[in-house]
A = this chain, B = another copy of it.
């Protein structure tokens, strides 16, 4: 009885949903991930593609996403240096989910 009640409540799943939001719930994270579905992008490209983001916020979100293993950052020794971001497998696996979420948004959020 006590076990089935505990199972019903699934407290560990609630924790995980919050951990997940900690990884991809940043204001711009999904927009950045979405932009990277079509392939790696330079910092300057991301800045241009994502509307209304400023440089400081983009740096911050990308650092957070790199730390969480969603993107890989590569620096090339060009003059000036080129910085490119690519999705990891972990990030790529979000594609169908974010696409579905986007479809939901188009239908219900407007």
Please report A residues at the B interface, Cβ cutoff 8 Å: 8-9, 11, 13-21, 23, 25, 27-28, 30-31, 34-35, 38, 48-52, 69, 90, 93-94, 96-98, 100-102, 104-110
Contact = CB atoms under 8 A, between A and B. Distances in A.
A20 B102 contact: yes
Contact of A16 (B25, B94, B96, B106): B106
A16 B102 contact: yes
* Nearest 4 A/B pairs, CB to CB: A20-B105, A14-B31, A90-B108, A11-B51
Contacts of A8: 38
B30 A21 contact: yes
Contacts of A49: 9, 11, 14
